[in-house]
Structure formats: C-alpha cells, structure tokens
Amino acid sequence: MAKLFIQLAALNGALAVMIGAFGAHALKARLTPELLSVYETGVQYHFWHTLALLAVGLLAYQLPDSRALIASGIAFIVGIILFSGSLYLLASTDIRHLGFMPVGLITPFGGMSFIIGWLLLLISSFKI
C-alpha cells in the first residue's frame, strides 16, 4: 500500500497543479468571484490532502500492517474525490444534481472523510 499511496499522491499533485492552472487561466474570466473562490478552495484542499496522502505513503513503509494508516490513506483519497471534486463540479459546470443528490450535499461527506483521515493518522501515530 505504501507504494500505491505514494503513486496516488504524485498523480494527485500533478492533477492539483493542472486543475489549479486551468482555473487560474481558463476559468478566471468565465467564473464569478464567488465561484472562482469555490474552485480555489477545492484546489487548496486537493493540495493539502495530497501532501497528507504522501505522508501516509511514507509512513506505511514503517507501519505496513497498520489498518488505521491504510484507512487514513483511503479516507484522504475519498475526501479529495468527494470534497474537491464536488467543488470543481459546482464551480465550473451547470451540473447541480448527480442523480437524486444535489452536488452541494456531497461536499460535506468529503470534508468528513478528510477529518476521519486525520484522526486515523493520529491513531496510527501511536504505533511509531
């Protein structure tokens, strides 16, 4: 899992740069200041949690059997997808519903995944 988390962190780092650059250059003139702020929040959380995922990957070499650490990495990945992904979708498209669920209701689930990831990282740190 350590290698996979590091690879996913590297991929997400590249994606966060590309998505951030796209927002700064291609979307800046098309979005209202409020929507641009929403988009930038998605990018910011994407970056921070990519770094957290990298830390999990590096720690996983020391604690390869830590279920809390593995769950932490998974929670960060889910959080990036749900939190940042929903903000990107809200800010840059007219899509407001995915099936029966408003896109805005997905964001808090991503935020909760981030919180869970940090708490699981805390729990796993007691084994270091």
Q: Is the dihedral of CA 36, 37, 38, 39 positive or negative?
A: positive
What integer pLDDT is reported at residue 82 of this predicted model?
97
Alpha helix segments (H runs only) across the chain: 2-22, 33-62, 67-79, 85-92, 107-125
β-bridge partners, 98 = 101
Q: Read off the pTM.
A: 0.95
Segment 112-121 shows an average pLDDT of 98
- pLDDT tier at 98 (50, 70, 90 boundaries)? confident
Whether residue 95 has pLDDT greater than 90: no
Other CB atoms closer than 10 Å to residue 64's CB: what's the count? 11
Segment 72-90, tens digit of pLDDT: 999 999 999 999 999 999 9
Q: How many CB atoms lie within 10 A of CB 74?
A: 18
Give the domain range for residue 50.
2-125
Which among 120, 115, 125, 6 is positioned nearest to 68, based on CA atoms?
120
The total number of structural domains in the chain stands at 1
Phi, psi dihedrals of residue 96, rounded to the nearest 5°: -120, -10
Contact 82, 106 (CB under 8 A): yes
Which of 18, 2, 16, 10 lies closest to 69 in space, CA to CA?
Answer: 2
The pLDDT value given to residue 128 = 85
pLDDT tens for 3-57 read 999 999 999 999 999 999 999 999 988 999 999 999 999 999 999 999 999 999 9
